[in-house]
Structure 1
Amino acid sequence: MRKIFLGLSLLTVLVAGAQKKTNPTTFGKSITADDLKRHLYIVAGPEMEGRNTPSPGLERAATYIENQFKSFGLLPGNNGTYRQFYPLYKDSITGSTLKVNGTTFTADNDYQVNAMTSYNASLRLGEAVFVGYGIVDGDVWNDYKDVNVTGKVVILANGSPANYKTTATGFSSPANLSVKIRNAQTKGAIAVFVVADNFPRKPIVSGGNYQLNGYAASVYPQVVNISEKVAAQIIGADGEGILAKLKAGNAPSKAYKAKIDLSVNKVTKEELVSNVIGIVEGSDKKDEYVVVTAHYDHEGIRADGTIYYGADDDGSGTVSVIEMAEAFAKAKAAGKGPRRTMVFMTVSGEEKGLWGSEYYGNNPVFPLEKTSVNLNIDMIGRIGSDYTGKDKDSLNYVYVIGDDKLSTDLTPVTDIANKYVKLKLDKRYNDINDKNRFYYRSDHYNFAKNGVPAIFYFNGVHADYHKPTDTPDKINYPLMAKRAQLVFYTAWEIANRDDMMKRDLKLEIPGR
């Protein structure tokens, strides 16, 4: 028995070694411009209606992708099904009232409630605290100094004073309204009234946008935009022309007694959407995984019937995943399949905030600690504006983003894979100071932030980016095929190497 066991073990090693040395070009070259074009005219066709998340068109696209995986012989990737469903939540305001010191105000004329920043409640409050711009910035600035806002209404203005300077920018800035609301929450405020001078306003749609996280770990204060008229009714004489006084530096933080009645009523709708997952099972390392992703959603269709086709963004990545899945399935059928399990996943909700990949990152079907790499394809069918008419490599390049992050193995493997296709690998967006922040804007990031080495393949933005004119007829199919082949050969190398990709680099995140 022992001799037989040793013999079988030796055979397994020899087979694994033979698989690793298999020339992948036969399978890589099966990814063709013609096949990509055939798939893309369907995925980015009018029937899919722009693949908004959620929408019937998105569901039709998911069904098409699932059927392709089935036809290639891929196994269902999520416990017997090709779908990983996740819920979305949409809030709609059904009514609201605001009364201050006996005076009833009118929605949109005097105040406005947003479904995304409010919750069902009926509040009667007897004290409000004006906190200027509501900025908290360490020792530099603190509008809450010497006031207590626990359980009270906070009144603040958007923006920042002229003499306030901060090194943080964008969503991290203490002057950002979301940051101000979080600070008010931390300090115990029950509601935040944001004073603005642009009333009356047009009514906002009663229904908010869909969101992924319908159950917050902590509830924000009730947020209401109010006119200066409402502010004056609460604050009294100090509130007359409050924004001008604040700008002049004559509006200190202070508490005011007032009788405030606020009620908000809203309803929540829940809808399911899905990621589509198919696998080609590995051999001796089948419990380790190579995940290839692209997002199959886009911007949808306007009320007037205008379709955002999303051929490049990200129909190009979606059909490349389909073609790669078929190539690996062919290798498996020929007895030359991968050592690690290949996971092909098209995710939804990317355009809304990386929803599908975020959900997968929080609810992985396959252990992230056993996921060797994520290779993410998002727009590889066009010539970007940096190359159009300006560069000799305009017909032979791709942006490779992230091969210098998390793993020192990524760059060598990419170079090995590129020997098959000989593309110019443009790595300018690896720069930690890239103002576009591309590395943090596509689905691979939800793998990277969980420690999985990841590469993002990209052609750059162009004149049709996020416009209805991003159509299949404008795709450069031969170039797209080469780019997809690069991802295939990279996946092949990683799937068949002896070791998982090292995780030996710390992920740098700008602003932290």
Structure 2
Amino acid sequence: MKKLLFTPMLLASMFAIAQNSDDAAAKFASTITAKSLKEKLSVIASAEFEGRETATPGQKKAAAYIESLFKKFGLKPGNGDSYQQVYPVYQDELLGVKLSVNGKPFQLDKDFTFTVQSAASGVSNINEVVFLGYGLPEDFANIDVKGKVVLFLDGAPADYKPAANAPTRRGGPTAFFAKAGMARTKGAAGVVLISNSFPRKVATATKGEMYLTKATSSFTTVTVSEEIASALLGRTSTLSIDKLKEVNKGTYYAETKLDVNKVTTNLESSNVIGILEGTDKKDEYVVLSGHYDHLGKRDMVIYYGADDDGSGTTSVLQMAEAFAAAKKKGNGPRRSIIFLAVSGEEKGLWGSQYYSEHPLYPLAKTSVDLNTDMVGRVDTERKTGDTTNYVYVIGHDKLSSDLPIINEGVNKQFTNLTLDYKYDDPNDKNQIYYRSDHYNFAKMGVPILFFYDGMLLADYHKPTDTVDKINFELMEKRVKMIFHTAWVMANRDQMLKRDIPLNMPSR
């Protein structure tokens, strides 16, 4: 191997190139201002877009706005000749439902309710149920529920203590979500939850939640009154919840008929994608992502989603404008930069999932995803450290050893924020690592950094998440730091190494 000699002239030349790049980065980062961020966010989080719920007119208006700015900046369409990657969304509508046990009919909302999308349209005849008490993990031990319907009580005994390693997300093992998930994992055909909250004060919604993938088989989910539960357990009189707690676990027989009449509507949503083509490494990619959807409008009240994630969407737009301006002045990136505004995040990371499963650019050639989701506020739960000069960074010690070196380096050089890594703890009870769009890149092996401002409990997923609450000066500083990180990653000689296993527990 030939030895490379670094002469004083060569070293000086290399220093000059690096200095010129730093100067250019600082120059175009200066176009990211509190004023420009506020201008864009005031549109994205406006009443006109009605909270941007996935597969609604408000979301489509937001997509059109983002596309218009990508065009204005001079980005190329990211999907052939289109700026949008459309993906299917489905929604069920209930036309009617009947339930009877041993020939006795029961009424919706008076005696039972059910999840509209969980049951297939048509008649289901159920002749046996497996009663598992509270349906806790230990209740499933040594009991075969494959192909059967599982019946269980709500909650847990007063003295119940979950295992030390039990997951805490969505209420932990005592929550209905966990119980139903356990039953489904073990092959059950459906679950029936016993509740004493009948008759219901709020009618069952005739339209179900939207979903991304059509199920190949139904998994019926029904909540029933004490009277129905007693009938399913072979009792001729109604047992109270306290008496139902005393019933032995096991298989019980009753002739049950569930007759569901529903229709499925095919909807669609989209990711908005613009690309700034690189120079000598244009076939390698840096992704800057953020989700532009939010919760929409409920009972005529708009959930504006200014921070979540209007702030991340605005960050992507502002960085797109800065990088495009740099290219026009002869300072274009070596790698191509993909500006990816995804929808469906609030539904379950749908847009990024669809992109990761149908990538428009090879994930093997994608150096990194820098994901921005909530960077405009101060964490109301932050009790230590500087609350006015920080950002949470997730993913710094995962997948690539290059990540912290670059990110910490540019932060020290340009912005001096406190980079807080608290949510990188594998034992993080909030499981933040799994809860935004970077995760769909990470699970495919693409190095990621996720920038986040924290748990804003006062306004999180509430109509009060509005533009007037945003700290634009702090947001400016955070976005500049992300821009500088992307600048280095787009211009360095090598793609980021993929040299660290993902050390997060399976979901």
2:280 equivalent among 262, 284, 307: 284
* Contact kept in structure 1, 2:375 and 2:475, CA below 8 Å: yes
TM-score, scaled to structure 2: 0.87
| Secondary structure of residue in 1 paired with 2:415 | coil
Deviations 1:281-312 (A, max 9, x none): 111111111000111122223333x3322222
1:219 equivalent among 212, 217, 220: 217
| Equivalent position amino acid for 1:385 in 2 | T
Looking at structure 2, the residues matched to 327 and 178 of structure 1 have their Cα atoms a distance apart, in angstroms, of 44
* Contact kept in structure 1, 2:130 and 2:249, CA below 8 Å: no
1:106 paired residue number: 107
Q: Is 1:411 aligned to residue 404 of structure 2? A: yes
Give the alignment of 1:90-101 within 5 angstroms: 90-101=91-102
| Equivalent position amino acid for 2:103 in 1 | G
Looking at structure 2, the residues matched to 461 and 188 of structure 1 have their Cα atoms a distance apart, in angstroms, of 36
2:501 paired residue number: 506
* Contact kept in structure 2, 1:143 and 1:253, CA below 8 Å: no
2:200 paired residue number: 201
| Equivalent position amino acid for 1:252 in 2 | K
Looking at structure 2, the residues matched to 302 and 278 of structure 1 have their Cα atoms a distance apart, in angstroms, of 31
Q: Is 1:431 aligned to residue 432 of structure 2? A: no
Instruction: Calculate percent identity across the aligned residue pairs.
Output: 48
* Contact kept in structure 2, 1:19 and 1:336, CA below 8 Å: no
1:4 paired residue number: none
User: What is the Cα deviation at residue 18 of structure 1?
Assistant: 5.5
Give the alignment of 1:71-470 within 5 angstroms: 71-137=72-138, 141-142=139-140, 145=143, 152-161=148-157, 162=159, 165-167=162-164, 168-170=166-168, 175-185=174-184, 189-202=188-201, 203-213=203-213, 215-216=214-215, 218-237=216-235, 240-241=238-239, 243-248=241-246, 250-256=247-253, 258-304=254-300, 306-386=301-381, 393-418=386-411, 419-462=413-456, 463-470=458-465
Deviations 1:368-410 (A, max 9, x none): 111111111112222222569x75x444322222211111100
| Secondary structure of residue in 1 paired with 2:234 | helix
Q: 1:87 to 1:106 in 2, by over 3 A?
A: same
- Shifted more, 308-317 versus 273-282: the winner is 308-317
* Contact kept in structure 2, 1:78 and 1:277, CA below 8 Å: yes
Q: Is 1:492 aligned to residue 493 of structure 2? A: no
| Secondary structure of residue in 1 paired with 2:268 | strand
| Equivalent position amino acid for 1:199 in 2 | F
- Shifted more, 28-37 versus 220-229: the winner is 220-229
* Contact kept in structure 2, 1:132 and 1:143, CA below 8 Å: no
Looking at structure 2, the residues matched to 238 and 189 of structure 1 have their Cα atoms a distance apart, in angstroms, of 26
* Contact kept in structure 1, 2:168 and 2:429, CA below 8 Å: no
User: What is the Cα deviation at residue 160 of structure 1?
Assistant: 3.8
Looking at structure 2, the residues matched to 498 and 455 of structure 1 have their Cα atoms a distance apart, in angstroms, of 20
User: What is the Cα deviation at residue 321 of structure 1?
Assistant: 1.0
Looking at structure 2, the residues matched to 244 and 109 of structure 1 have their Cα atoms a distance apart, in angstroms, of 21
Q: 1:359 to 1:29 in 2, by over 3 A?
A: same
* Contact kept in structure 1, 2:234 and 2:252, CA below 8 Å: no
Looking at structure 1, the residues matched to 112 and 125 of structure 2 have their Cα atoms a distance apart, in angstroms, of 17
Q: 1:416 to 1:206 in 2, by over 3 A?
A: same
2:477 paired residue number: 482
User: What is the Cα deviation at residue 415 of structure 1?
Assistant: 2.0
User: What is the Cα deviation at residue 277 of structure 1?
Assistant: 0.5
* Contact kept in structure 2, 1:136 and 1:144, CA below 8 Å: no
- Shifted more, 289-298 versus 475-484: the winner is 475-484
TM-score, scaled to structure 1: 0.87
Q: 1:91 to 1:27 in 2, by over 3 A?
A: same
- Shifted more, 271-280 versus 474-483: the winner is 474-483
Structure 2: runs of 5+ lacking an equivalent = 1-12
| Secondary structure of residue in 2 paired with 1:49 | helix
* Contact kept in structure 2, 1:131 and 1:143, CA below 8 Å: no
* Contact kept in structure 2, 1:43 and 1:61, CA below 8 Å: yes
* Contact kept in structure 2, 1:135 and 1:143, CA below 8 Å: no
User: What is the Cα deviation at residue 165 of structure 1?
Assistant: 4.6
* Contact kept in structure 1, 2:275 and 2:336, CA below 8 Å: yes
User: What is the Cα deviation at residue 81 of structure 1?
Assistant: 0.7
| Equivalent position amino acid for 2:328 in 1 | A
| Equivalent position amino acid for 1:297 in 2 | D
* Contact kept in structure 2, 1:242 and 1:251, CA below 8 Å: no
Looking at structure 2, the residues matched to 506 and 102 of structure 1 have their Cα atoms a distance apart, in angstroms, of 57
Looking at structure 1, the residues matched to 118 and 66 of structure 2 have their Cα atoms a distance apart, in angstroms, of 36
Looking at structure 1, the residues matched to 316 and 252 of structure 2 have their Cα atoms a distance apart, in angstroms, of 59
* Contact kept in structure 1, 2:195 and 2:225, CA below 8 Å: yes
User: What is the Cα deviation at residue 340 of structure 1?
Assistant: 0.8
Looking at structure 2, the residues matched to 188 and 400 of structure 1 have their Cα atoms a distance apart, in angstroms, of 38
Looking at structure 2, the residues matched to 150 and 22 of structure 1 have their Cα atoms a distance apart, in angstroms, of 62
Looking at structure 1, the residues matched to 209 and 181 of structure 2 have their Cα atoms a distance apart, in angstroms, of 20
* Contact kept in structure 2, 1:283 and 1:340, CA below 8 Å: yes
Deviations 1:8-48 (A, max 9, x none): xxxxxx99x96996232221112222221221221122222
User: What is the Cα deviation at residue 74 of structure 1?
Assistant: 0.4
| Equivalent position amino acid for 1:425 in 2 | L
Looking at structure 1, the residues matched to 423 and 146 of structure 2 have their Cα atoms a distance apart, in angstroms, of 45
Structure 1: runs of 5+ lacking an equivalent = 1-13
* Contact kept in structure 1, 2:52 and 2:292, CA below 8 Å: yes
Q: 1:77 to 1:105 in 2, by over 3 A?
A: same
Looking at structure 1, the residues matched to 313 and 55 of structure 2 have their Cα atoms a distance apart, in angstroms, of 17
| Secondary structure of residue in 1 paired with 2:379 | coil
Q: 1:233 to 1:427 in 2, by over 3 A?
A: closer
Q: 1:152 to 1:28 in 2, by over 3 A?
A: closer
Looking at structure 1, the residues matched to 270 and 376 of structure 2 have their Cα atoms a distance apart, in angstroms, of 24
Q: 1:262 to 1:303 in 2, by over 3 A?
A: closer
| Equivalent position amino acid for 1:198 in 2 | S
